[in-house]
């Protein structure tokens, strides 16, 4: 019995020693991993500071501001939560859609002149006339292009029905919202890039660096100007709707074309006078040709008579 108790005590002591050594090893591993986590946090904070220094513009420059609202949190079981920020640029994009309108209208009218004058009056009321082609020969027609304020387009479409009978209508829109956003991104990006290039090469006495800086700054300014012009073109397209209007007389139904028989006497007299007129040119020419022919024939007869 004593031997059994001694063996149990030895077994429990051995288990206690193994557990104690395992806990000591785990505590050492935890202490060794703690500086690594702190170094990771320090490197992530430096990365975020670099991103903010590159992307954030100077106050009042009008460039996009950085937002720290988008956060990514990595959680590991049994360890301290590690949280770092991912910065994204925010651009002042409007909630409304930027739409460019194209409208084609075809009207048939019984009073062409009145419809023509009304079309010009509507162009002056809602916008301006770009071009107009009028044809006053039968059948009369008008083709006009005009620009109307986009906010007054629906009111214009209601009043334009007074031009006559609407035969066809085609309304087409082009969404320029993404194009406007792309130009805003390019504009902001080039502004930030220009400042970064200027700060990177500022204060360098090297003439080569000065030339390189001026060249890079000129490239950024050119791209920024082009983005500004494209931005203006998009706003102009959205502000004005292009309207193409076609107005024409009613189609003439086919019928029998009766010639004017009461003018037969005048036509015959005119034909006789025309023949006399052309004969005055033909008779002298014919006389000359006839004289040449008779002379040649006379010489030919004399020549053969002498031989015979």
**87 membership: H or E segment, kind and range:** none
Coil, strand or helix: which one is 111?
Answer: coil
pTM for this entry? 0.47
Q: What is the pLDDT of residue 206?
A: 61
Structure tokens at 249: 């007389």
Pairing status of strand 82-85 against strand 127-135: unpaired
For residues 31 and 17, what is the distance between their CA atoms, to the nearest angstrom? Answer: 21
pLDDT in tens, 187-200: 777 777 777 766 66
72-76, 138-142, 264-268, 297-301: which has the minimum mean pLDDT?
Answer: 72-76
Whether 125 shows a pLDDT value over 50: the answer reads: yes
Distance of alpha carbon 165 from alpha carbon 297, whole angstroms: 79
* Mean pLDDT score, 241-259: 83
Residue 47 reports pLDDT greater than 70: no
Q: How far apart are CA 156 and CA 134, in angstroms?
A: 22
Residues 164-182 have pLDDT tens digits of 999 999 999 988 888 877 8
pLDDT tens digits for range 14-42: 666 766 665 555 555 444 444 444 444 45
214 vs 138, 187, 192, 207, 221, CA distance in Å? 66, 19, 16, 11, 10
């Amino acid at each position: 019995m004593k031997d059994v108790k001694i063996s149990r005590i030895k077994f429990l002591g051995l288990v206690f020693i193994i557990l104690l050594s395992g806990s000591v090893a785990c505590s050492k591993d935890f202490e060794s991993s703690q500086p690594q986590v702190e170094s990771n946090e320090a490197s992530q904070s430096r990365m975020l500071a670099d991103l903010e220094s590159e992307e954030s513009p100077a106050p009042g420059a009008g460039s996009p501001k950085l937002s720290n609202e988008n956060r990514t949190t990595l959680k590991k079981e049994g360890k301290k939560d590690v949280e770092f920020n991912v910065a994204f640029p925010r651009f002042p994009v409007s909630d409304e859609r930027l739409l460019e309108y194209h409208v084609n209208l075809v009207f048939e009218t019984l009073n062409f002149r009145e419809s023509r004058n009304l079309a010009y009056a509507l162009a002056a009321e809602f916008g301006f006339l770009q071009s107009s082609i009028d044809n006053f020969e039968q059948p009369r027609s008008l083709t006009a292009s005009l620009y109307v304020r986009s906010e007054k387009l629906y009111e214009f479409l209601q009043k334009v029905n007074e031009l006559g009978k609407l035969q066809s209508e085609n309304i087409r829109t082009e969404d320029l919202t993404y194009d406007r956003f792309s130009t805003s991104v390019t504009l902001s990006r080039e502004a930030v890039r220009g400042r970064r290039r200027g700060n990177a090469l500022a204060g360098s006495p090297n003439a080569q660096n000065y030339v390189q800086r001026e060249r890079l700054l000129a490239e950024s300014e050119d791209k920024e100007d082009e983005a500004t012009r494209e931005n203006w073109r998009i706003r102009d397209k959205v502000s004005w709707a292009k309207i193409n209007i076609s107005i024409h007389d009613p189609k003439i139904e086919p019928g029998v074309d009766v010639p004017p028989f009461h003018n037969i006497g005048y036509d015959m007299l005119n034909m006789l006078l025309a023949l006399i007129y052309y004969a005055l040119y033909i008779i002298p020419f014919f006389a000359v040709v006839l004289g040449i022919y008779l002379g040649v024939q006379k010489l030919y007869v004399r020549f053969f008579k002498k031989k015979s």
